[in-house]
Amino acid sequence: MNLSSLEKTIGYKFNNKDLLKEALTHRSYLNENASWSLPHNERLEFLGDAVLELTVTEELYHRLPDRSEGILTPIRAALVNYQALLEIADEIKLEKHLLLSKGEAKGGDRSKEAILANATESVIGAIYLDSDYATTKKFINQFIMARLDNVMRGESYRDPKSLLQEKIQSSQRLTPTYKVLEENGPEHHKVFKVAVYFNRKKIAAGEGHSKQEAETEAAKKALEDLSESK
């Protein structure tokens, strides 16, 4: 298992290679490889999620001193949500390094996306354990906080659900409704798929690690579709 290319991409060389291997080990891999000596990555994912949120919160607190908590919260969500984690996974070419069962490796895009988003947090947790907070912050600044300008410029942090409701109530006098279509993944980090409807007509769907996040993604896609149809 050659990890040097991934280490080069993320700009960090592990002292304990087993931590990175663990971060890349999906639960399904253990079912087919009983001799694999390392655990799956869900504990590292749990840790990475907390480190990521703390780091981004601290950075936003210092970088945006004139913004209220009510504004900082959705900005943070835009930086660390499910879709953002997928973008990071794609940027660092994480998929080709993951250890999956044969079934998961051949699985659909939706299942693989959830695995990739979770593994991104696992890598963050592994870096934190192998080094320190400052080093982990360097990684997060490079790959996540680097997106702050785009988030601010496009105002993507504004609540899409509220924006969509304003537009639809104004133009069609309807209130958008949301319905959970699917739930996948482990209990501690499920992935929800939610659709938004206008008067029982399905308009768009989104995914996220919570129903709220999935609803937000669905509303965002609906807004994009409305903008393109003009």
Which residue among 45, 121, 215, 217 is the active-site one?
121
**Of 161, 148, 149, 166, residue with least CA distance to 196:** 161
User: What are 103's two structure tokens?
Assistant: 């079934």
* Catalytic site includes residue 87: no
Considering the candidates 45, 49, 104, 130, report the single residue annotated as catalytic: 49
Structure tokens, 94 = 């994480």
187: its two tokens: 């209990």
Task: Kindly report the backbone phi and psi dihedral angles of residue 165, in degrees, each rounded to the nearest multiple of 5, phi listed first.
Answer: -65, -40
**With the CA atoms of 220, 45, 186 and 31 taken in that order, what torsion angle do they form, in degrees rounded to the nearest 10?**
130
**Sign, Cα dihedral of 41, 43, 45, 51:** negative
Place of tokens 């003009």: 230
Q: Does residue 121 have an active-site annotation?
A: yes
| Residues carrying an active site annotation | 49, 121
